[in-house]
Amino acid sequence: MLAKQGWRFIQNPNSLVCRLFKAIYFPTTSFWNAEIGLSPSYAWRSILHGRDVLCSGIRRHVGDGCTTNIWTDPWLQGENLSQYYRPHVQLVSDLFHHQGYWNLDLLRELFPIDVVNKIRALPLSLNSYADRWIWGADKHGLFTVKFAYHVARSLTLNEDSDGPNPSASLWNGIWTAQVPSKVKICAWKACANILPTRSRLSERGIDIDTHCPLCEEEVESPLHALRDCSVASEALSIAQFAPLSVVTQQSSVHEWLLSQVSHLSKRSFSALLMLIWAIWRNRNSMVWDALSKPAVEFVPLTLGWWEEFRIVHATPTKLPRSHSQKWKKPGLGFIKLNVDASFHQASGTAGLGGVFRDSNGSFLGGFF
């Protein structure tokens, strides 16, 4: 049900409810990037929880291709196209020869043959209509709570409706981590291989020295910047994450975090995402402002800030409802006095009242 409200947000962004939530919680950004905020209502907190389910179940249905980003929108089921990023094409419509026909030469230039074949298999219309969101888990593209439940359950079971998909546990781990949204987005970009490290910039055709700006020894790949560089590995070992000898066989951040999400607790995985974000931030401070901090300084600062974040955003625990005792009559020959009092702080006034009742429960007298 919560995912359904999120579905309404992207389907009917101009509805009164959506505009109201947008004005309060995400006036300057999109629903996808909206953060929970400092004092979220129960409804907003719940909608954001549903967004994670939604993220895993929706995709873009390509019409004219003019509002679907090739690299960041989910439009080709089961494929993460960001790994093939090229800056000269952005929209799916850039991949058309003309409406209804793929530019095969361009597709072959950008993607491996199995991805090209998958794209060619997408039905295109000669009549241009706008791209739209569809609920990918349902064959008709319609959102149903039943399918949302199915997706949510699949995520929990670490498999999706098309069969085992180990990446689902990683995306689920990232989007449900107890960390700020900007930390989740940083982790997602690292896994999608689109963090602008020097090696990635060079691959995009930018003429740049690819050596790491911190250690100046290795090529600055995302994995080097976030795990293997001396500052990064020091930060990870201070926070007592797995020593590098155990994890060096991975060749990308995606593979590394996939191995971590399966054996770390949710809390530890969240802490790891915080560190990755801090390592990236520290690296940028060095590159842009020459202001980097040593790991022994920024690790405790980051983890301390994260603790505060978790306390502020903790789901309030429901207090057990106190069982109100039913009034009982006093024993024969006894009189029962019930009293209550209150104090009004603003006016400084107080009140007291009481009721006397006999063993039949009859009112004998009272005061206030």
340 three-state secondary structure: strand
Q: How far is the CB of 211 from Zn ion (least distance, A)?
A: 8
**Under 8 Å between Cβ of 170 and 191:** yes
Separation in Å, CA 16 to CA 8, 13, 32: 11, 8, 19
Interaction mask 291-330, Zn ion, x per CB under 5 A: ----------------------------------------
Provide the phi-psi class of 332: left if phi over 0, else alpha when psi is between -120 and 50, else beta. beta
Q: How far is the CB of 214 from Zn ion (least distance, A)?
A: 5
Q: Is 279 in the site for Zn ion (CB under 5 A)?
A: no
Interaction mask 225-264, Zn ion, x per CB under 5 A: ----x-----------------------------------
Query: CA-CA distance, 368 to 353, in Å (whole number)?
Result: 4
Q: What is the DSSP letter of 91?
A: B
Q: How far is the CB of 258 from Zn ion (least distance, A)?
A: 23
Q: Which is nearer to Zn ion, 70 or 212 (CB)?
A: 212
Q: How far is the CB of 225 from Zn ion (least distance, A)?
A: 7
Q: Which is nearer to Zn ion, 59 or 198 (CB)?
A: 198
Q: Which is nearer to Zn ion, 93 or 233 (CB)?
A: 233
Q: Which is nearer to Zn ion, 131 or 228 (CB)?
A: 228
Query: Binders of Zn ion among 330-349, rule CB under 5 A?
Result: none
51 three-state secondary structure: helix
320 by Cβ neighbours in 10 Å (0-12 / 13-18 / 19+) ranks as exposed
Q: Which is nearer to Zn ion, 214 or 276 (CB)?
A: 214
Separation in Å, CA 317 to CA 15, 20, 24, 32, 353: 33, 27, 25, 27, 34
Phi, psi of 344, rounded to the nearest 5 degrees: -100, 110
Query: Binders of Zn ion among 181-220, rule CB under 5 A?
Result: 212, 214-215
Length of the chain: 368
Q: What is the DSSP letter of 126?
A: S
Query: Binders of Zn ion among 132-161, rule CB under 5 A?
Result: none
Query: CA-CA distance, 360 to 357, in Å (whole number)?
Result: 8
Query: Binders of Zn ion among 75-134, rule CB under 5 A?
Result: none
Separation in Å, CA 309 to CA 36, 41, 64, 235, 280: 11, 17, 42, 20, 19
Q: How far is the CB of 237 from Zn ion (least distance, A)?
A: 15
Q: Which is nearer to Zn ion, 66 or 215 (CB)?
A: 215
Q: How far is the CB of 95 from Zn ion (least distance, A)?
A: 36
Phi, psi of 66, rounded to the nearest 5 degrees: -85, -15
The residues that bridge with 351 in the sheet, in sequence order, are 342
Query: CA-CA distance, 200 to 206, in Å (whole number)?
Result: 9
Which one of 29-37, 170-178, 224-232, 237-245 is the stretch in contact with Zn ion (CB under 5 A)? 224-232
Provide the token pair at 87.
């800056």
Q: Which is nearer to Zn ion, 95 or 279 (CB)?
A: 279
134 three-state secondary structure: strand
Number of residues that bind Zn ion (CB under 5 A): 4
Q: Which is nearer to Zn ion, 78 or 213 (CB)?
A: 213
Q: How far is the CB of 227 from Zn ion (least distance, A)?
A: 10
Q: How far is the CB of 162 from Zn ion (least distance, A)?
A: 39
Q: How far is the CB of 223 from Zn ion (least distance, A)?
A: 11
Q: Which is nearer to Zn ion, 110 or 231 (CB)?
A: 231
Residues of the shown chain interacting with Zn ion in the complex, contacts defined by CB under 5 A: 212, 214-215, 229
